[in-house]
Structure 1
Amino acid sequence: MKRLPSDPVALVRATIVAELDDVRDGPVVVALSGGLDSCVLLHALRFSTAVETALVAAHFDHGMRSGSRSDAAWVRGVCKAWSVDLAEGGVTGSATVPTSEDEARDLRYAFLGDVAEQRGAVLLTAHHADDQAETVLFRALRGTGIEGLAGIPRRRVLDVDGDVGVTVVRPLLSLTRDDLEAYARQCVVPYRPDPSNESASFARNVLRRTILPLAEEKVAPGARRSLARLADIAREEEAAWAAAMRFVLPALDVRPGTEGDLGRRPDAKRCLSCRRDALVEVGPALAARVLRRMAGEHGLNLDRDTTRRGFAFVQNSQSGRYIELGRGVQLHLKEDRVIIVSSEKPETDPMRGSASLDRAE
């Protein structure tokens, strides 16, 4: 394994170069809030001789804080001083100001995705290892499964208007906030502290300011890095399950439904079915993944309790019966088939949960 440099500037820049090795030939858009993390990312890209790519910063003003306009003006000044092109967006009136962090995130990513898509660019966000640790710990405390423990992905595809998506990359995910602060000190990188990071009303701040420091002091030194490492392990497990599912789904005869599956109901063509006997035979762990995959095709993210209830229904109920799984999605039994059908249009993003932790990516 290649040894990473100990100098904070060299460390940050080498990490970014390695993470962007396959996308350095094209343009990149940096999500720039004005905080420490995104300012370090933009500075490292702008002033590293090892990265030569068309660089654009993108800032979105949610209008949720009284100082957001001054943040936008400050970001404008930094980009001008660093000779970086800036794309700006934001809400247009009080009626459109988001009322939750989930809503704010959706608006922000819609804007960032549009900016990147218009330029044919990769989108970079400044999530780091501390963000990963907080996300993993929060989800663990809520009883998440392996998929939830995988935390924030290093890369994902962001859908833009239902077309081919934009690639999102987090090049700082292996670095800690301490690494970024050391870089900022050495390079005198300006940034704007976010006042909301001080509020105890947000779950993330309680984890960041109280629980994780106490855990590292009293229980497990290096807990943040350990939690980030756990996310990597969980993601490897998820990748293995995904590979296994490519063999499992055909064996269970998972296929689109037909009118014959549910009679001539108007929604009968929008269903998936599989062999009931085979689903029972594979056992609860694998059956749960199959049911979640099938429900996910209808835009429904099944939680653990609903998944277990669905599998118990498959095991014990008679043909001709059905149960509601949630949000218009039903699980039917008909003869030797398990059928999942939706009477509602699937949502593009079925994830629901605590803002910025369940959906931290």
Structure 2
Amino acid sequence: MKTRATGLNPHNRFQTIVTDRGADHAHDDGWYRAPEDELNPDSLATEVVNESVKSIISRNSSPDVPFDQSINPYRGCEHACIYCFARPTHAYWDMSPGLDFETRLIAKPNAARKLREALDKPDYRPAPIALGVNTDAYQPIERERRITRELLEVLLEYRHPVSILTKGALILRDLDLLSELARHELCSVRISLTTLSNDLKRRMEPRTAAPATRLKIIEQLRAAGVPTGIILGPVIPFVNDPEIEDILTAAATAGATRASWIMLRLPLELDELFQDWLHRHFPQRAEHVMNRMRDLRGGKSYDSGFGRRMTGIGPYADLIRQRFAKKARQLGLGLHEAEPLRTDLFRRPAGEQMGLW
């Protein structure tokens, strides 16, 4: 049986009235629980509601990320990664960043239409769009909703560049679109690869593809001509940091050409959720992990300052940087580099004739 990452559903920071589902206690839904996993709730049904969005492209001005605009087809993520930095955003929708984030999802069925409208605006200037960087565009509900595929169809029609970050095997369904985009130098993919251990994956990212499956995804994407790299995000002190060199080696063997990393981030409610998870799964090293996290963040669990939030500061951050860079260079992996994508092929198929009048 698949499990959830957290048994907590803390009320969000905007909530003044706390309902039962938002209570600060482990949620028991009364369903069967896998005998080998007594820590987390199992089989809680996923709820999905539709949101008719007014716009679909989000703009970004942060110097810490290598893109200016992005699209997220879904809010919340059934992959249930305990470390997900996007969990606190669920509070904006009057839901908990805990179990609600994993089970109460919001889909954007008019995303493709809104993308067309945005690309058809006369003042739009093409720049690579990052797809699924907040919540995974290839999480399980995409199999039926197909919003991500619809977006890729629009991007291919407009010859618009796109980069994708995912840990979902469903991306292979869209190899036809991705390979055609890549043929025009319009597409790149990063696979999130955080561990090679099935046991740690099950605890940390319970509803994601297995590590071996992600390596096969890299192989198949590369075989289809799609530029593919990995992101080791996050690096968690004393949890997955011993695997850095092995992860990079496995990724390079599978065909990855680029690699980057991010240090664990614990903004807002994520701090409580992660520490609860840590004490449940790794009680003997929990305080050791958090002490190191505070060393990285100037004595706090989290520091949101640009230039520090992605990597942290101090000797440990420097050590991770050096280990990662040394092994990546040995393997011939490009470091923190964004694949060059073309913008000069952009066209407006529906508006080309109108432009003559």
- Tell me if TM exceeds 0.5: no
- More helix as a share of residues: 1
Q: Normalising TM by the smaller chain, what interval?
A: under 0.3
TM-score, structure 1 length as denominator? 0.27
Structure of larger gyration radius? 1
